Amino acid sequence: MDAMFRKEISHVSIVFNQIKDGVYITDPDRRILFWNKAAEEITGYSQEEVLGKKCADNLLVHTDLAGNKLCSTDLCPLHKAISYEKATTEPLIVKALHKNGSRVMVEVSLAALHSASGELIGGIEIFRDVSEKIELEEQKARFFSSLSHELKTPLSNMQGYLKLLLDGDAGEINDLQEEFLTTIYKEEQKLARYIEELLDMGQFEGTDYSYQQNMLDLTALLESLANSFSAEALNKELDFNSNIEPDLALFGDRERLSQAFSNIIGNAIKYTEQGSVSLKAVFSEADDEIGITVQDSGIGIPEKDRKSIFEMFYRVDDKDVRSKGGTGVGLYITERVISRHGGRIELESIPGEGTTFTVYLPGLKKTQEQ
């Protein structure tokens, strides 16, 4: 190991020992060269105990929140930062092992370290205990889920009784009564949909700490969405094709990603009256990212509206759009979820011919040893 590098570490250690975040520095083989005071507090291991060891040698042992180990080389965040020689762009929340065997939720940032001449000399991880913040988010999620139940139950009861009245189960109704009841019924359905979307937003607007970060099987997730949406497309007599590459995986929040893709696929079906909707997912080795494309032959989106459709409540001002119903919240949520996963959405559209949404997400193709 470069003596200069060790000297530099000893200089910066005074600074790193003052800060409240855990910091450790490794050589390119992930052997620990420095471990600050906060790292000692968060993990229970002293610097003497860890120096020279690899971070995966039963120390730290990061897992995703579902408990899957991330120490195999392709998944290890530190290995990734060192081997791709770049820093993390999004905060990553993982569990780390405490000396007493418990697991601490930590938010980590990582980067490769280079010498002044540009040579790769190691990696650095900065981590902070976020257990309390996550507990707060979980409390908030529990609140939203009980609020959602409290609001939905009376609404669905009202819907049931209105339906009975309309069906004449409580006695015959005249034409005017039927007209009024039908209006109430439709408005009530609208209200139920708005409440649903507002509650979704309340949940999706959560801070970074409310995001689950687990290694998930994207192929399985997309296949299950393709399955349920193909039935919906069939109802509208649209062709639905899917072509999803096997073994696609990424680190993320299953429920939120599922909601994000459902919004895009659901829109493709909703805004298409004839022709087809297709779903495709491929891995690009060159960019380490997965491209998920949803293409439709529907009404299209005018050029002037393309940026705005990702804003909250924005809907294209067009009779074909108005006739469909909707709140303009779906793509707002989708965009937030995708960017929170370090991804982006691209959009191409020809009014009257169709629209193609492509979502790019950092991901990987699982190999045998994982």
Binding site for ligand ADP (CB under 6 A): 263, 267-268, 271, 296, 298-301, 309, 314-316, 321, 326-332, 355
| Sheet strands side by side (includes 92-97) | 32-35, 22-26, 120-129, 103-114, 92-97, 60-63
Shortest spacing between CB 290 and ligand ADP, in angstroms: 20
List of residues 6+ apart from 135 with CB closer than 8 A: none
Shortest spacing between CB 75 and ligand ADP, in angstroms: 33
C-beta of 259 vs 267, nearer to ligand ADP: 267
d(CA 312, CA 327): 9
d(CA 307, CA 4): 50
| 232-to-190, 205, 266, 296 alpha-carbon distances in Å | 20, 28, 9, 14
Shortest spacing between CB 312 and ligand ADP, in angstroms: 8
Q: Per the structure block, which two tokens stand in for 183?
A: 């209006």
Shortest spacing between CB 231 and ligand ADP, in angstroms: 18
C-beta of 125 vs 296, nearer to ligand ADP: 296
Name the residue with the smallest CB distance to ligand ADP.
326
C-beta of 213 vs 349, nearer to ligand ADP: 349
C-beta of 120 vs 321, nearer to ligand ADP: 321
8 Å CB contact between 88 and 251? no
C-beta of 142 vs 324, nearer to ligand ADP: 324
- Going by C-alpha positions, the residue among 227, 237, 234, 249 that lies closest to residue 66 is 249
Query: For residue 126, what is the enclosing H or E element?
Result: strand 120-129
d(CA 253, CA 342): 12
Shortest spacing between CB 275 and ligand ADP, in angstroms: 12
C-beta of 35 vs 332, nearer to ligand ADP: 332
CA torsion, ordered 306, 309, 311, 315, to nearest 10 deg: 140
Residue 63 CA, chain-centre distance (Å), reads 17
C-beta of 44 vs 326, nearer to ligand ADP: 326
Shortest spacing between CB 319 and ligand ADP, in angstroms: 11
C-beta of 9 vs 321, nearer to ligand ADP: 321
Shortest spacing between CB 268 and ligand ADP, in angstroms: 5
- Going by C-alpha positions, the residue among 315, 303, 204, 336 that lies closest to residue 270 is 315
Shortest spacing between CB 221 and ligand ADP, in angstroms: 19
d(CA 239, CA 275): 6
d(CA 80, CA 123): 10
C-beta of 17 vs 258, nearer to ligand ADP: 258
Shortest spacing between CB 32 and ligand ADP, in angstroms: 47
C-beta of 300 vs 342, nearer to ligand ADP: 300
Shortest spacing between CB 357 and ligand ADP, in angstroms: 7
Give me the DSSP letters along 65-103.
TT--B--STTT-HHHHHHHTT---SS-EEEEEE-TTS-E
CA torsion, ordered 249, 253, 259, 265, to nearest 10 deg: -20
